[in-house]
Amino acid sequence: MAVNLDKEAYYRRIKRLYGNWKKGEDEFGKVDAIVVSVGVDEEIVYAKSTAIQTWLFGYELTDTIMVFCDTKIIFLASKKKVDFLKQVAVTKGNENANGVPPITLLTREKNESNKANFDKMIEAIRGSKEGKVVGVFSKDKFPGEYMKSWNDTITAEGLEKVDISAVVAYTMAVKEDGELGLMKKAAAITSEVYSKFFKERVMEIVDADEKVRHSKLAESVEKAIEEKKYLGGADPSTVEMCYPPIIQSGGNYSLKFSVVSDKNHMHFGAITCAMGIRYKSYCSNLVRTLMVDPPQEMQDNYNFLLQVEEELLKELKHGVKICDAYNAVLEYMKKEKSELVAKLTKNLGFAMGIEFREGSLVLNSKNQYKLKKGMVLSISLGFADLVNKEAKKDEQKKYALFIGDTIQINEEDAATVLTPVKKKIKNVGIFLKNDDEEDEEEDGDDAEELLGKGARSAALLADRTRNEMTAEEKRRAHQKELANHLNEEAKRRLTEQKGEQQIQKARKSNVSYKNVSQMPREKDIREMKIFIDKKYETVVMPVFGIATPFHIATIKNISMSVEGDYTYLRINFFVPGSSLGRQEGNIFPNPDATFVKEITYRASNLKAPGDTSVPSTNLQNAFRIIKEVQKRYKTREAEEKEKEGIVKQDSLVINLNRSNPKLKDLYIRPNIAQKRMQGSLEAHTNGFRFTSVRGDKVDILYNNIKHAIFQPCDGEMIIVLHFHLKNAIMFGKRRHTDVQFYTEVGEITTDLGKHQHMHDRDDLYAEQMEREMRHKLKSAFKNFIEKVETLTKEQLEFEVPFRDLGFQGAPYRSTCLLQPTSGSLVNTTEWPPFVVTLDEVELVHFERVQFHLKNFDVVIVYKDYSKKVTMINAVPVNSLDPIKEWLNSCDIKYTEGVQSLNWTKIMKTIVDDPEGFFEQGGWSFLDPESEGSCAEEDSESEMEDETFNPSASEEEEEEEDSDEDYSSETEDSNYSASVGSEEESGKDWDELEEEARRADKESHYEDEDTSAVNNSSSSNNKKRKVRPSASRSGPSKKKRRS
């Protein structure tokens, strides 16, 4: 037989079987020999006899009898199977070499009764221990003459049979690393099929309001496992369903794995789905409940079911009795929600492996077996026969909730979930209704039943049209509500903060020597020379014959020059009034004192008779050493400044488990050293650790991450994991709030000199390779993220930017694509990165929003008014409506205006007098539609008119000047607009003036007014190009308010 047998696995496992038998626990203590006989039966999927064969040999061997005696093992099989088993049969000279009894192989005779072979096996049984009792799997009954004659032989010999299914199952329940790997792969495939096929299909059905039967949906899931895209690279021939998928809804629920999906149509309420996939003979299982528009009570019950599962996972550990874990969960339920205890499923799961369900290892109140590290269980918990009080239809009145996972038992920690499919309400709830549609829907229920689906579609279409017409109005109404709420919330917040006084950190005073005893007693000081004390960073200079110390921090700069026979050393000091920056007041606590501004020393370059050195040598050395000390001091000060405000982080708890989520060959930004270096990112118990190839380490703790962002490589040249931190961390001698790990997907540079051809095979191959690499990297990163979210129990959730909602803008120097996520607005592909937390945003203001401009600016004002506003420049005007829609959906107030405002002054005014600001209407001054702003502008314009009333000629001159300024500001945009085609440019100015004149005549204006317009237009035609509408406003271009 060409098939190979894993000898090492066979010897390991047969040793374990014999080891447990020799211990003599439970049924093992009663038997003298073990008999395993396997016949042929296509209908039997799971049997202990075939499971032990798969466990030992990796294959099922039909029509094979195995007899395990105390000192020998006998296999009776066909000639081909005997050839296969010869791989583990021990040679005569090497018996018991592997610590297991030797194997005797008997070849089955097809045409004879096999009496001779049966006699040999009976003789071996009689010679094993007392030879009276045989251990069998009593539930396994295979049909056929061959099996019947063997069973008759055992009965005729008067051998007693004892069922050893439970003890053999317990022996096989602890999985080896290889088996765990196969079960993890099976669980991963189940998760993929559920997430990428089943859940998406249910969403499509609900969205399109299709009528699909449970049985048809279950069949489509079975067909899906034939497609490679759902199998994570596994060979479809090695994958099969553990059982037909069970889909239930509409009030008919049975929370078992023995039922079959019925032929009823799927009801849009609570939809339970159970599916299990078997990979290379090893099983996995997954149960989820999807809920369409669940009422609050259903959500509460579901959340409680998740809590119960969490409790169960905590209880399931190595050495714990199964019944104790079950009872602990029951006690938790009685304490929290005792009314749901009666609704709970009778058992909470079972052990799983080659067989889907191990009947002797069920999680219930009676099972005395202890859990062991390496066991894999399928846990499944549910509440049946729950009543929906808000239901109106019969199929809605009863519902059930059912969840389940494949888990692995650990030594001390809670059990590990191998099926990391998200199951929070936000992941399994499908919410369709809008609050304002509920009333209309209730009224339309009866009509829908009478008129059917056609009427419903028509009603939906009419409703949709009506909504589209009023979308802008709805947005405005919502913004009005937000404006009122915004001012109240901001006023309350500032009032609370008023009591908190900001404590300013006192600057460290630089004192050279605290007392005279610390002064150095050097020869240079006695000889009135300049001496530099490196220890205390002090320059000791002779001033009027007295050695005077000056700390290095007081020296601004020094210079040295040689003039003739003398060397001059000039030392400049920091004094009040010199350019120090903003912190000047902190450095000089007593600015009224007398300060030394500069000192100049002179020394001769000529060597006097008897001198050992030239006098100027002291100045030259002093110049050099002061520079060195100054550089060292400034470097240290810069490092200390970087460290200011750094919050001390917890230590990273290293998880020594080799199966930690890990990504290799990543680059880190910002760089640790000058050159970028590759490294690996590994998730541990409480944080990530990046280790570069050089050995540098950067630790990021989960509790310090404000935003974890995953930027896929769709449309990008890099794939990124970005962490925006709550508190800055130090590495590379600098503090960083944003750290990202990325890898390049394709070639960022292209060789333009290379001959390009669309059908060039090399290019096509390169494109294909790049596509494959993108898919591979995306899968690796997604897999890493899912594992991390499971490891942290979803406390750390990665946000993925919504590319469809993205818009171009320039938050820094260059334009980039800014993309919203669920909680932030980000750009992570360019450096420096841009991350704004939406929860911290007070309001968003759009500047320079005018019909003739192609771009506008976005100003983001934060709730913390002391924080500088963020500006995003050059946002295309066609993005204005989508941005408004997005902000409105996030409940963020936005305003717009035509001018650019001085935000530094505005924020300073607000911080200085918050009460006065909110008394005058608060942020309503930004909103052109608000009453407060109009009144404010009116009063301003009235004051202007009262205090300044120029003559008509002055008005015209003033307008010309203002027009010049205005046109110069928008010269670029007008130029770019004017270089378009003739069709785009529209009517020229003479035509527009002619139209205005005709309109004035029709409105019975006086001829004098018309001539005035002509005069002004001829003299100022070019300058008025910016505002065509001004020609209709009469003789004066200055706008007045009535």
pLDDT (0 to 100) of residue 94: 45
Give the rounded distance of the alpha carbon of 741 from its chain centre. Answer: 13
**Of 444-453, 533-542, 647-656, where does mean pLDDT reach its minimum?**
444-453
* pLDDT number for residue 451: 43
When pLDDT is averaged across residues 422-433 and rounded to a whole number, the result is 85
State residue 647's pLDDT score: 72
DSSP 587-652: H-S-TTS----EEEEEEESSPPTT-SS-TTHHHHHHHHHHHHHHHHHHHHHHHHHHHTTPPPPPPP
Higher pLDDT, 464 or 105: 105
Q: Give the whole-angstrom CA distance, residue 475 versus residue 486.
A: 16
Pairing verdict, β 73-77 and 103-107: parallel
Mean pLDDT confidence for 800-813 = 93
What would the two tokens of residue 275 be?
């599916």
Mean pLDDT for 952-966 is 40
Q: What whole-number distance in Å separates Cα of residue 48 and Cα of residue 56? A: 12
pLDDT at 175 over 50: yes
Question: Mean pLDDT score of the chain, rounded to an integer?
Answer: 81
- The answer on pLDDT for 1026 being more than 90 is no
Residue 343 has pLDDT above 50, yes or no: yes
- Whole-number CA gyration radius for the chain: 42
Per-residue pLDDT band at 470 (split at 50, 70, 90): low
Instruction: Report which of 145, 74, 135 is spatially closest to residue 103, judged by C-alpha positions.
Output: 74
The percent of residues above 90 in pLDDT, for the chain, comes to: 46
Nearest to 687 by CA among 739, 744, 742: 739
**pTM (2 decimals)?**
0.55
Note whether 542 and 530 are within 8 A (CB): yes
Predicted confidence (pLDDT) per residue in 598-607, tens digit: 999 999 988 8
Predicted confidence at residue 964, as pLDDT, reads 40
Counting residues of the chain whose pLDDT is more than 70, the rounded percentage is 81
Q: Express each pLDDT in 273-296 by its tens digit.
A: 999 999 999 999 999 999 998 999
Which of 11-25, 271-285, 1010-1024 is predicted least confidently? 1010-1024
pLDDT band at 950 (very low <50, low <70, confident <90, very high): very low
Looking at residue 35, what is its pLDDT? 95
Of 619, 605, 617, 533, which is closest to residue 571 (Cα–Cα)? 619
Q: Is 836 exposed, middle or buried (0-12, 13-18, 19+ CB in 10 A)?
A: buried
Q: Which two three-digit tokens encode residue 878?
A: 């066609």
What pLDDT is recorded for position 433?
54
User: d(Cα 724, Cα 717) in Å, to the nearest integer?
Assistant: 21
Report d(CA 574, CA 516) in Å as an integer.
Answer: 24
Give the strand order in the sheet containing 824-827: 807-809, 816-820, 824-827, 834-837
3-state DSSP assignment of residue 183: helix
Peptide bond before residue 542 is cis, with ω within 30 degrees of 0: no
Whole-number pLDDT of residue 461? 44
